């Protein structure tokens, strides 16, 4: 699995002009399932996301997690993180999980996040989404299982 975390002041995702998920301070997490990924990998990445110390403490040091600051999670499926741009000018996506596997792993990630964290919003799998965010820092961190 690949994730792209963005520390945000606020973020929301819309489908057909309707906001379907929104958070204030927290993390926008773009989630990509790749071929061969497992629920165990998703669980390990989620645990890392929840503990990753990328929010400022009283001294201004990145020393607090999203859980420490009571921030939200906005989880958005994004198969394009699996893009292969090594040849030609058109990205290939053969490394992305098949749609049914991608949906299953994304939904597992969301379900586990909701079990472990009090504020979780989502996008809609396979929808044409517009993601709006105010990146804080900016802090953008890639993660991979």
Tell me which of 19, 38, 80, 130 is the catalytic residue.
Answer: 80
Grade residue 41 by pLDDT with cuts at 50, 70 and 90: very high
Residue 92 tokens read as: 């290939």
Q: Work out the percent of the chain whose per-residue pLDDT is above 70.
A: 100
pLDDT in tens, 83-104: 999 999 999 999 999 999 999 9
Tell me which of 6, 25, 78, 122 is the catalytic residue.
Answer: 78
Grade residue 79 by pLDDT with cuts at 50, 70 and 90: very high
Instruction: Please list the residues that pair with 139 across neighbouring strands.
Output: none
Q: What is the mean pLDDT of the chain?
A: 97
Q: Is 79 among the residues known to form the active site?
A: yes
CB 125, CB 111: distance < 8 Å:
no
Predicted pLDDT of residue 98: 97
Tell me which of 6, 25, 79, 122 is the catalytic residue.
Answer: 79
Is the peptide bond between 34 and the residue preceding it cis, with omega within 30 degrees of 0? no
Task: Write the Ramachandran bin of 17: left for phi over 0, alpha for psi from -120 to 50, otherwise beta.
Answer: left
Nearest to residue 120, comparing CAs of 1, 15, 31?
A: 31
Residue 14 tokens read as: 């819309």
Calpha distance 116→71 (Å, rounded): 13
Residue 68 tokens read as: 């420490």
Q: Is 80 among the residues known to form the active site?
A: yes
Calpha distance 50→120 (Å, rounded): 12
Nearest to residue 45, comparing CAs of 130, 124, 113, 125?
A: 113
pLDDT in tens, 133-142: 999 999 999 9
Grade residue 80 by pLDDT with cuts at 50, 70 and 90: very high
Predicted pLDDT of residue 26: 98
Instruction: State mean pLDDT over 18-41.
Output: 98
Q: Which domains does the chain have, with CATH numbers?
A: 2-138 (3.50.80.10)
When computed from its CA atoms, the radius of gyration of the chain, rounded to whole angstroms, is 15
């Amino acid at each position: 699995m690949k994730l792209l975390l963005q520390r945000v002041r606020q973020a929301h995702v819309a489908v057909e002009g309707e906001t379907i998920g929104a958070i204030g301070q927290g993390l926008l997490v773009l989630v990509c399932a790749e071929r061969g990924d497992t629920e165990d990998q998703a669980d390990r990445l989620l645990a890392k996301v929840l503990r990753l110390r990328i929010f400022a403490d009283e001294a201004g040091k990145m020393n607090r997690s999203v859980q420490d600051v009571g921030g939200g999670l906005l989880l958005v499926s994004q198969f394009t993180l699996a893009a292969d741009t090594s040849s030609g000018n058109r990205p290939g996506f053969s490394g992305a999980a098949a749609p049914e596997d991608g949906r299953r792993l994304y939904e597992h990630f969301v379900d586990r996040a909701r079990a472990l964290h009090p504020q979780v919003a989502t996008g809609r799998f396979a929808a044409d989404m517009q993601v709006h965010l105010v990146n804080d820092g900016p802090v953008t961190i890639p993660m991979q299982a």
